[in-house]
Structure 1
């Protein structure tokens, strides 16, 4: 019998979105759409839809640690994405549970929901900087998140984006993807900054309100690429292209009455 080829597996450690557009649900959709098996560790339950987050209930540190232990005890995890962690205790729990597991980590510093609801208390920023940022293969902040981590104002130019990205690398991140979705202009610019180079990724700014879960989807798509063995620049560019197509197809979905989700399965579903 021919031995089975190893299945690429990626892990998402994040919060659950009951509306299905972001968090764990978005991550698993992105993994699947890109040919990667997805495992999950739920750090918090959220009651939310396309309009608002109405309740957040954290998982206990013991449950978070037990989920991580169970997954690594059985599955060959090739890469992990860290999303909404909720607070300092959860951040420390995740960092401790990942000790000894040498794999690429994509850290999406989820702080504020699309609705404006804060998902990471300001007092937890030090824990994120101390325990997880230095472990990250890639940090993927949007402009407000990067400013929050650095204690400064959001970047308003590419030069400032680059400066802030380098400053985050100086804090210990292996690389930083500065996401320009919150900037102005007809072209959206993301900057991938490493110790030795900078890669500029551009796309036309798409006019849609259905952008719920874009950050989760992008970081998960990057983790999927890393799980398949792609080098970081290739994983980032492939994920960037995938997300742009998912945004372009978002209006073919009719989900909710607020900020709807992107279309994770735009390459698979056929709309009549």
Structure 2
């Protein structure tokens, strides 16, 4: 005698249990975070670092090659500190492997996916995230709507793989970080003047410096820091304390500009 088919109420109860299990898995995965190892940054991030199973968006602060390059190297440094291979989907051939290596991401760890459009980049990213065995997935696009970012966020939560969306090639008047997105964090990266090399005084150029603006984070407030660029291990650093002169003179910034807070050494 065959068993009776489940009733509508039983189907509904089973479906609700399945949804609760998915939500619990996603919430548990999102709690895993990758700290920057800098207290001034990590204590400002809602989970003490970047959520691992999540989508993060990054853009240059201004539509300039320097800021685009800083945003790219910022992502390379984070991806370098993840275990496993990194899938990098892009629509133009302008990645410079030696620069990525200087930010800690060895070319041998990168799987390049050359695409013809933003839509192809987003599709490749989603497939890479659902694979579940990559250290990180990075995609370069001009635009990505709310539907696309929701799909990437869900795929990242399900697989536990970190996703980064690098927005490039925008028009001067556009700000990609202002558009709707499901990303857990959204960043703007800009270049600022470097300090002098400590061993030669004012005659040399020190490590590159960036202005990191956390424009949005789920469960936390926005903040801005001045940081030294990623080193060969993919790690940022606070600028060294200047000698014999005030920090505001060395950095060219005060501790608070237009309501934004800056990290001090």
Query: What TM bracket, shorter-length normalisation?
Result: 0.3 to 0.5
Larger Rg: 2
TM-score by length of 2: 0.34
